[in-house]
Amino acid sequence: MKKTLLFITAAIISLQVSATNRPDTDAEDIKRVIEKAYIDGLQNWGDPEVIRQYIVPEFVMLRLAGNEIQKLPIETWISNIEKQKAAYPDGQPYPATAKYLDIDVTGTAAMVKFELYRQGRKQFTDYLALYKFEEGWKIVGKTFYRH
């Protein structure tokens, strides 16, 4: 009886731990956010409201130009997308796709490394930082390397 009770207690604790630490589920949730907001949204000129749903207003892309850091806030990027959509009403002429290289999750923080492709050619290696809020994962920042 004692062994059975010990086994049941261990099983319950194990289930509780696995329910709170679900790296596979977090990784899939993070990929969905990146696909919706970053790939379909920012790169392929999608719906600005979807972008805003999954990217925090404080988001900034940091770009190394020469030996200087340049910042691109999310609202500036969205404004640029709106201009591109007006110039190309049929949509992004060269849609982007992603190849995920690494999704590193620690608690409520994550860093994702992936390659961005257009027309089958690698264009960028992107690094996105995310936090898990009460309502789910959101993108908070970006750095990248242009190939």
- Name the pTM for this structure: 0.83
Q: State the Cα–Cα distance between residues 26 and 144, nearest whole angstrom.
A: 23
Q: What is the pLDDT of residue 136?
A: 98
Q: What is the pLDDT of residue 44?
A: 97
User: Which of 27, 40, 24 lies closest to 116 in space, CA to CA?
Assistant: 40
Q: Strand 136-146 to strand 55-65: parallel, antiparallel, or no bridges (unpaired)?
A: parallel
Q: State the Cα–Cα distance between residues 41 and 48, nearest whole angstrom.
A: 7
User: Could you list the pLDDT tens digit for every one of the 147 residues in the chain?
Assistant: 555 444 444 444 444 444 455 668 999 999 999 999 999 999 999 999 999 999 999 999 999 999 999 999 999 999 999 999 999 999 999 999 999 999 999 999 999 999 999 999 999 999 999 999 999 999 999 999 999
Domains in the chain: boundaries: 23-146
CATH number for the domain whose boundaries are 23-146 = 3.10.450.50
